Structure 1
């Protein structure tokens, strides 16, 4: 399970790769499109950005996985958007768009989780490492 320092380092490397290449490298990882998610800190009230991958994109909905590598705790970005669902998303280095984030309902997760793990088995391994149910987050454009 990655430490906070390792997660921050991966984000720095990812952003650097995007910046140095002018957005040509780093727009996907292991076949998944990448995105930058900006949330509002639940404690600080300040914006926080994190680089993530999207194992599923269905129409205008982007699905991300709050796995934190199978840690027993939720990632901070998930806790932030759970408390403040208005987020900004830059998908594949595109323009930042206002979106709304919400945790998939049990029925939605039951439908989406098999699709995620069939395509990217690493998430099944993350789920096996933890007793918490790893949330799926649906990002949809804000009207």
Structure 2
């Protein structure tokens, strides 16, 4: 049976000191350990992260899907989680963090910067009618 995309990315992350292949080659990645809001099942979401001071920011784009990704709902229900953070160059650390959705003023500043420097996210925004949330992880 073939590996699904997320399983492959998680495996590559762990086997290669936080480095993964396409489409994330050389990018800083984060494995977010979260708990299903309804199921209570433990899950892992591999995501691209962006720096903002002492926080790590991720985009709940779901590639422009009409709904927020499941991990976003799980984090809003259970925001205290563990993450494995990679700088994309071979350094990985595990941290306990608190997840929070960015308020409008912070979101606009960071979202504009992300779209300006990573055009794929602007494409995702054009594909959907929903407002794409940004989530910040702060070390606990």
State if a TM-score over 0.5 links the two structures: yes
Which segment drifts farther, 82-91 or 24-33?
24-33
RMSD of aligned C-alpha atoms?
2.0
How far does residue 24 in structure 1 lie from its aligned partner after superposition? Answer: 5.9
Alignment size in residue pairs? 133
Deviation (angstroms), 1:29 = 1.6
User: When the two structures are superposed, what TM-score results if normalisation uses the length of structure 2?
Assistant: 0.86
Among candidates 5, 9, 14, match of residue 14 of structure 1: 9
2:36–2:43 Cα contact (<8 Å) kept: yes
The runs of at least 4 consecutive aligned structure 1 residues that moved more than 6 Å come to none
Aligned to 2:57: 63
- Return 5+ residue gaps in structure 2 as ranges: none
Q: TM-score, length-normalised on structure 1?
A: 0.84
1:96 pairs, out of 77, 82, 94, with 94
List aligned pairs for 1:1-143, cutoff 5 A. Answer: 9-21=4-16, 23=17, 25-26=19-20, 29=24, 31-54=26-49, 56-92=50-86, 94-142=92-140
Q: Give, in whole Å, the separation in 1 of the partners of 2:136 and 2:19.
A: 25
- What are the ranges of 5 or more consecutive residues in structure 1 without an aligned counterpart? 1-7
Q: Secondary structure in 2 aligned to 1:122?
A: helix
Q: In the aligned structure 1, how far is the partner of 2:111 from the partner of 2:18?
A: 30
1:81-106, Cα deviation, whole Å (9 max, x unpaired): 01111111100162321100011101
